[in-house]
Amino acid sequence: MRVLARLFAPRTIVHAHCDLPCGIYDPAQARIEAQSVKAIIEKYAANDDPAFRTRALLIKEQRADLVKHHLWVLWTDYFKPAHFEKYPRLHQLFNEATKLAGAAGAKGSTELAPADQLLAKIDEIAEIFWETKNI
């Protein structure tokens, strides 16, 4: 029995956005997480409790990682070469947005400006996304 189990066991384990290509993509997922990052920054600034602030930073960093994840899914799975040809700034927008979600941006800061900039970039990406849906 063990020989069969080893014989049929997967050699490589992979992970994907979903187990079935669902075709459900929406920049709103990234925006919701980015709004959460901004709200946490606001709550962090309004609270002096060290335990609360530590917890807020941890959650903010998790949410910022989720922003990057949702952006990467759009960038790599939804948008196709034809989209990048029609919207030549798209690669740059994704690069800027993921950096704003990362350690050099909202993830690594307690300032509101990077969170606001991140939301603005996501809105630019969303505008292009919805244009591609109407083509």
pLDDT tens figures, 6-44: 766 776 665 555 544 667 899 999 999 999 999 999 999
| pLDDT at 2 (0 to 100) | 74
**The token pair that represents 40 in the structure block:** 């946490």
8 inside domain = no
- What total of structural domains would you count in the chain? 1
- Give residue-wise pLDDT tens across range 74-115: 999 999 999 999 999 999 999 999 999 999 999 999 999 999
Q: Is 23 left (phi over 0), alpha (psi -120 to 50) or beta?
A: left
How does residue 118 score in pLDDT terms, banded at 50, 70 and 90? very high
Q: Find how far residue 54's CA is from the centre of its chain.
A: 22
Q: What are phi and psi of 25, to 5 degrees?
A: -125, 145
In a domain, 85, yes or no: yes
CA–CA gap between residue 135 and residue 118 (Å, rounded)? 26
Three-class HEC string of 27-69: CHHHHHHHHHHHHHHHHHHCCCCHHHHHHHHHHHHHHHHHHHH
What CATH number has the domain bearing residue 61? 1.20.120.400
Range of the domain at 89: 25-133
pTM, rounded to two decimals: 0.83
